[in-house]
Amino acid sequence: MTIERAIPTFGIILTGSALLATFAGCSSGSGWESQTTTGSSSSADDFQMTSTATGFYGEQDAQFWIDGEDEGQGSLSQVTFASEGADFDPEVDPTGSFLIYSSTQHSTQSDIYRKQVDGNTITRLTFDSADDAMPTFSPDGKWVAFASNRSGNWDIWMMSVDGGAATQMTSDSDHELHPSFSADGTELTYCRRNSRSNHWEIWSYSINSPGVRTYVCDGLFPQWSPDPLSPKLLFQKARQRGSQFFSIWTVEYEAGACSNPTEIVSASDAAIMHPSWSPDGKLICYCQVASPQANGGAWPMQAEVWMVSVDGSGQAPLTTGNFRNMQPNWSQDGRIYFVSDRGGEDVIWSIPAASAGAQVPMQTIVDATEPLPGE
């Protein structure tokens, strides 16, 4: 199937064996298509960039990480071990015990898997012939919402955390992706590609009244704040002029009303993508891709994971080196799980958020590991 989009992406790009990452564009524009095929590469056609950028990667050396005072690698852990295909879309359950993710290690189409974060065995939750991706846990850890094209286009589905029959939650003819639950579990938000406007939009509906849906704002990859007292959505959005690179935003969304759109992180020479909240909602981790136009619209050769306070202060890199580090996701225990090709294959690794060192206040990092109110 061919998915036409107005936003060129480092996105679901098929690289032979893997449905890699997430319609995660580095810029906005018009006129390219991504082929969703089996066993063959897809390409971005007619990708045009008019801006110039110097890029920002930092010095290249033999070290993988900035990790504490001695800049060692002792805290870096490989979490999944696909020897073929790829593992991606990591998310950790509310207890910090289980990882759920997408993988093509057993099929040319992606399926959803679950494993203990420190375990060796994996449980395959979906087996259909379509692609299943972008899983997310409900706040009580009993349900998994995910995106699937099993009905002909991308829709949101939900199943038990143990797998089994899935329920289709959306059925529009437009593509719908990347579900996210509100902290109280009453709202399910996702992004939708509007075929009329050629824009990605964020929509939300009540779990108890799924037929009633509300437009929130334009954007991609929404994620609800984990703080029940803070009705905020975190997402990425492309500029509508200049470089059109992505930046990270928040918006307040309550009782069907959207307010206070706030840009947290942006860069003139890099795409800022894949944002994720810390457990207390005070920090954000994200992926930074320098000079996106140099990749020609394809999955980037190099990307880094960063973190920042929600007020935009204290930006700090978590990774450095000549690797592709993407899709960071914060766990309840303070570790950040992400996709990296540092071992040769795109699989899931983790690193403590404290590895950013003194650039982020230590008290903030400690707070990020504490339980949410009411737990």
Residues 259-283 pLDDT 10s: 999 999 999 889 999 999 999 999 9
Mean pLDDT of 93-98: 95
Residue 93 forms part of a structural domain: yes
Whole-number pLDDT of residue 143: 97
Beta bridge partners, 330, equal 336
User: b/e map of 28-61 (b: 16 or more CB within 10 Å)?
Assistant: bbeebebebeeeeebebeebebeeebeeebeeee
To the nearest whole percent, how much of the chain has pLDDT over 90? 62
Q: What band does 369 get if pLDDT is binned at 50, 70 and 90?
A: very low
Residue 2 forms part of a structural domain: no
Whole-number pLDDT of residue 236: 97
Residue 156 forms part of a structural domain: yes
Q: How wide is the angle at C-alpha 164 spanned by C-alphas 160 and 169, nearest 5°?
A: 60
DSSP summary character for residue 301 = S
Res. 373: pLDDT tops 50 = no
Whole-number pLDDT of residue 36: 28
Residue 351 forms part of a structural domain: yes
Res. 4: pLDDT tops 70 = no
C-alpha to C-alpha distance for 76 and 335, rounded to whole angstroms: 10
Res. 327: pLDDT tops 70 = yes
Q: What band does 356 get if pLDDT is binned at 50, 70 and 90?
A: low
Q: What band does 212 get if pLDDT is binned at 50, 70 and 90?
A: confident
Asked if 49 and 293 count as a contact pair (C-beta separation under 8 A), the reply is yes
To the nearest whole percent, how much of the chain has pLDDT over 70? 74
Long-range contact set of residues 287-291: C-beta below 8 Å, sequence gap at least 24? 287/24, 287/325, 287/326, 287/327, 287/328, 287/338, 288/56, 289/10, 289/26, 290/53, 290/55, 290/56, 290/57, 291/53, 291/54, 291/55
Whole-number pLDDT of residue 296: 65
Asked if 243 and 49 count as a contact pair (C-beta separation under 8 A), the reply is yes
Res. 15: pLDDT tops 50 = no
Q: How far is CA 267 from CA 10, 50, 270, in A?
A: 17, 16, 5
Residue 341 forms part of a structural domain: yes
Mean pLDDT of 156-180: 96
Q: How wide is the angle at C-alpha 331 spanned by C-alphas 334 and 301, nearest 5°?
A: 100
Residue 27 forms part of a structural domain: no
Residue 157 forms part of a structural domain: yes
Per-residue pLDDT reduced to its tens digit, 27-56: 443 221 222 222 222 222 222 222 222 222
Asked if 306 and 338 count as a contact pair (C-beta separation under 8 A), the reply is no
Asked if 324 and 345 count as a contact pair (C-beta separation under 8 A), the reply is no
CATH number where 191 lies: 2.120.10.30
C-alpha to C-alpha distance for 207 and 220, rounded to whole angstroms: 20
- Structural domain of 206: 78-367
Whole-number pLDDT of residue 243: 76
Residue 35 forms part of a structural domain: no
Q: Name the more confident of 74 and 84.
A: 84
Q: How wide is the angle at C-alpha 165 spanned by C-alphas 160 and 167, nearest 5°?
A: 80
Amino acid sitting at position 136: T
Res. 246: pLDDT tops 60 = yes
Lowest mean pLDDT among 110-119, 271-280, 348-357: 348-357
What residues have CB less than 8 Å from 288, skipping those under 6 apart?
A: 56, 267, 270, 271, 272, 273, 303, 304, 305, 306
Whole-number pLDDT of residue 255: 85
Per-residue pLDDT reduced to its tens digit, 287-325: 999 888 776 667 788 999 999 999 999 999 999 888 999
C-alpha to C-alpha distance for 151 and 171, rounded to whole angstroms: 8
Dihedral sign computed on CA atoms, order 279, 283, 284, 288: negative
Q: For the chain, how many structural domains are there in total?
A: 1
